[in-house]
């Protein structure tokens, strides 16, 4: 991760195909295309990759979450349970629909704690959204059981987890809807792009229409299409889809490299008694895009982070004071800093975040170090990196 590290002839060929035929829009202009439909071709490839009946490409992972929720009827005043550790896009996508993000604690999987989820359910809860952060998963069986018990939508934000699986099923394909990002720093990239996946035909058709101004995509005359309901513009372009089409065919290559580099680093750190690793539920296989490990406490993890910087060990983070990924520094969210008026339900929910106790999440995030796994490293570089990491950790204990 990320796929841009290994751009090559495959990506150039697919992009040149689009430029040669001159149609950059994914819909219409049938006569000009000469049979080139990159978005449709990528959707077909992703159906196979995700073992899912339906895939709808959109303009970003953020759009994927909004479109997925909207396709299942989530909207104004509905509560969506989500984790304290994610990317800001997760709550942005919920707020855009007028829905209310309800943040709950994570556990040692670094994803939703099922007990915290159950405790947060109210009469207004419509969906539970797990975020498969850093390439791994939570207790999907327990979370799905909770959703079934309370008749809730179960959504997987698997934007950082393409290539991971649970009990033989690709991450993203287990819930009612799955969401993926193909932005510039994901394992496979379109530059910008995302996807909604589902086995529910109604959700798929809703996503297909909603992401393109409500167009029904019936027939071959775009001007004659009807609009069954309101929609917006979350289309991906043919240029972006072309890059993704080449990249998705290379996914097994990328995952194999990630696993190789991840394993070298993990094996090296395993000799340190004070280092433990995130819990991966039984039957789960990570995407190996990140190596996540715990240290004894926040002070140690802070010292290790500083030591990593001093030793030139890049792309490793302690997220405790991170502006993008953890609730502690989401001041713009807690203070409802919106350009447009927010509903009273949203304002009340966001204001409550100022005083809500997330000490359980602090316990895990404060002790965690998350290290990106690069595809472009040589094996020698990975071994050198492992040696430096071990040295830096030992000197910081």
Distance CA 375, CA 122 (A): 44
- Cβ atoms of 18 and 24 within 8 Å: the answer is yes
Phi, psi of 62 (to 5 degrees): -60, -45
Radius of gyration of the chain (CA): 21
Residue 22 token pair: 């001159």
Put residue 313 in one of left, alpha, beta given phi > 0 → left and psi -120 to 50 → alpha. Answer: beta
186 carries an active-site annotation: yes
Question: What DSSP letter does each residue of 48-69 carry, written as one string?
Answer: HHHT-SEEEEES-HHHHHHHHH
* Nearest residue to 242 via CA among 38, 13, 57: 38
What gap in Å lies between CA 285 and CA 357, rounded to an integer? 31
3-class DSSP state of 127: strand
List the catalytic residue out of 38, 126, 186, 328.
Answer: 186
* Strand order across the beta sheet in which 79-83 lies: 54-58, 194-198, 177-181, 153-157, 125-131, 79-83, 100-104
- Is residue 180 within 8 Å of 132, Cβ to Cβ? no
Alpha carbon distances (Å) from 273 to 269, 293, 296, 393: 9, 12, 10, 11
SS3 at position 148:
helix
Structure tokens at 209: 């229409």
What are the distances in angstroms from CA 15 to CA 182, 241, 341? 16, 9, 41
Q: What are the structure tokens assigned to 375, written together?
A: 């595809």
| Catalytic site positions | 186
């Amino acid at each position: 991760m990320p796929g841009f590290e290994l751009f090559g002839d495959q990506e150039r060929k697919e992009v040149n195909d689009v430029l040669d035929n001159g149609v950059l829009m994914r819909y219409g202009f049938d006569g000009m295309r000469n049979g080139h439909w990159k978005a449709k071709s990528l959707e077909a490839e992703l159906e196979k990759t995700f073992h899912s009946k339906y895939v709808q490409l959109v303009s970003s992972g953020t759009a994927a979450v909004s479109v997925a929720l909207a396709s299942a009827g989530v909207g104004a005043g509905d509560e969506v349970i989500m984790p304290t550790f994610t990317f800001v896009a997760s709550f942005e996508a919920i707020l855009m629909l007028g829905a209310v993000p309800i943040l709950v604690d994570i556990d040692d999987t670094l994803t939703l704690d099922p007990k915290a989820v159950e405790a947060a359910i109210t009469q207004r809860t419509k969906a539970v959204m797990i975020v498969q952060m850093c390439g791994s998963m939570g207790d999907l069986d327990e979370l799905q059981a909770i959703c079934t018990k309370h008749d809730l939508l179960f959504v997987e934000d698997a934007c950082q987890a393409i290539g991971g699986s649970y009990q033989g099923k690709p991450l993203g394909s287990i819930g009612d809807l799955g969401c993926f990002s193909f932005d510039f720093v994901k394992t496979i990239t379109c530059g910008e792009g995302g996807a909604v996946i589902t086995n529910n035909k109604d959700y798929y058709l809703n996503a297909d229409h909603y992401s393109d101004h409500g167009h029904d995509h019936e027939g071959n005359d775009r001007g004659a299409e009807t609009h069954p309901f309101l929609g917006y513009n979350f289309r991906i372009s043919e240029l972006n889809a072309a890059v993704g089409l080449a990249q998705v065919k290379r996914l097994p290559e990328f995952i194999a490299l990630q696993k190789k580099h991840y394993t070298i680093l993990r094996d090296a750190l395993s000799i340190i008694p004070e280092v433990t690793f995130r819990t991966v539920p039984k039957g789960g296989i990570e995407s190996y895009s990140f190596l996540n490990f715990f240290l004894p406490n926040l002070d140690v993890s802070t010292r290790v982070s500083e030591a990593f910087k001093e030793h030139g060990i890049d792309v490793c983070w302690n997220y405790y004071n991170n502006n993008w990924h953890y609730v502690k520094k989401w001041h713009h969210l807690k203070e409802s800093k919106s350009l447009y008026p927010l509903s009273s339900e949203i304002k009340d929910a966001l204001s409550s975040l100022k005083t809500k106790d997330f000490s359980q999440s602090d316990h895990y995030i404060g002790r965690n170090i998350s290290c990106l796994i690069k595809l472009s490293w040589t094996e020698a570089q990975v071994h050198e990196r492992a040696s430096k990491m071990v040295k830096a950790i030992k000197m910081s204990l």
